[in-house]
Structure 1
Amino acid sequence: MHRLPMIMITRLIHPEQIETAIPILLSGGLVVFPTDTVYGVAALAEDAEAVARIYAAKDRPRRMAIPVMVAEPDRVTAVARPLPSFWALAQAFWPGPLTIILPKTDALPPIVTAGGGTVALRIPDHPLALALLRAVGRPLAVTSANISGQPPALTAEEARAQLEGRVEAVIDGGRAPGGQPSTIIDLTQTPPRILRTGPLSEQAVMTVL
């Protein structure tokens, strides 16, 4: 008997049903949700197969690492080795538009970091994103919810239009703020180096160190 190909249906989740996204993530699925910039697509950071699905869903080259989001600063220890200056920066700017690069641990699959020894970490300043991160209780690999090379999604509808059938669920949290990408600081360099200036100026970040 001929078997029809399986077609994945992308489910739309309303914010009050956010708990329904947790088993999807814990079982290796992909969930789209709003952040403090654009909509992101997430998988468990420690699940190599799930992260591989992000690359496939976005048609994203494997040479491009994926950032990791956590709910609280102390959660980074699951996937990274905090350096002394990390704690001051996290206390000053998280949640917020600062991405901090730290040495990765062996718990983080190489696919997340494109084979590199460092990982980019952030806590987003968005209530729904924070609620999801706290509920799942694990670091999430998160990148923009769009096909690589296409415009980033600012609404659930835009994300779903690009990733329908490629992800399990989209959480509709209204329009994302958009704006500048986060400022990035690399703490693995001596001295620490700003790799990208965003909403936070280099002076504001370096003053904390």
Structure 2
Amino acid sequence: MSTPDINTEVHNAFEVIKNGGIILYPTDTVWGIGCDATNPEAVAKIYALKKREESKSMIVLMNSDRMLYNVFKEVPDVAFQIMDLSEKPTTLILDNPRNVAPNLIAADKTLGIRITKEPFCFKLMERMKKPLVSTSANISGLPTPNSFKQIDRHILDGVDYIVNLHHEKIAPRPSTIIKLGNDLQVKVIRP
């Protein structure tokens, strides 16, 4: 069996996402379920697969400041300081997102985002030219799997494509989550 190639996997995942599908993929933290963050039907498929209430929002991965400014008109300066100083992946919850599927936006008009440098995710978003939904690969309320082997059969069978990279890797902890309002109020949700 040949070693999986990142470019082939990016191509395969892109083709599925482009057609409204959902993928199972390795992120910079845990295994994630993802789709085009601008496609409300694909987002709804993820909520259904996870058996998750739409009121519990999911985060979105981005690969550049340009993508960040496409989704948020205003980004507090402290957001960049937090991202630059963070030693581990950090999710920021920011106010007033736009240009994403409405069913991703929380009731309080916020959206959780993370800028990622993970090579597969980065290259996939470069190809998509859009943000990527990222939610843990578990049924809502059940533990987050630490490795590919721990992912529930329901999830494996429910996605349209499983990225063939890092199946042997044990995931680090989930990201730190910080809520950062345009009023500069900072609240740590998950350290």
TM, length-normalised to structure 2: 0.83
Aligned partner of 2:94 in structure 1 is 102
Check the 8 A contact 1:73/1:90 in 2, yes or no.
Answer: no
In the TM superposition, what whole-angstrom CA distance separates every residue of 1:15-47 from its partner, at most 9, and x where no partner exists?
A: 432111101111110011111221000011111
Moved over 4 A (4+): 93-96
Check the 8 A contact 2:59/2:111 in 1, yes or no.
Answer: yes
Aligned partner of 1:178 in structure 2 is 171
SS in structure 2 of the partner of residue 195 of structure 1: strand
Aligned partner of 2:186 in structure 1 is 193
In structure 1, list runs of 5 or more residues that go unmatched.
1-13, 199-209
- Amino acid paired to 1:188: G
Check the 8 A contact 1:183/1:194 in 2, yes or no.
Answer: no
> Which 10-residue stretch deviates more, 45-54 or 175-184?
175-184
Q: How many residues align?
A: 186
Q: Percent of aligned pairs with the same residue?
A: 27
- Is 2:136 the partner of 1:144? yes
TM, length-normalised to structure 1: 0.76
- Structure 2 CA distance, aligned partners of 1:57 and 1:100? 25
SS in structure 1 of the partner of residue 172 of structure 2: coil
> Which 10-residue stretch deviates more, 72-81 or 85-94?
85-94
Change in 2 beyond 3 A, CA 1:190/1:82: closer
State the shift of 1:133 in Å.
Answer: 2.4
- Structure 1 CA distance, aligned partners of 2:23 and 2:136? 12
State the shift of 1:125 in Å.
Answer: 4.4
State the shift of 1:195 in Å.
Answer: 2.2
Check the 8 A contact 1:156/1:173 in 2, yes or no.
Answer: no
* RMSD of equivalent CA atoms: 2.6
- Amino acid paired to 2:113: L
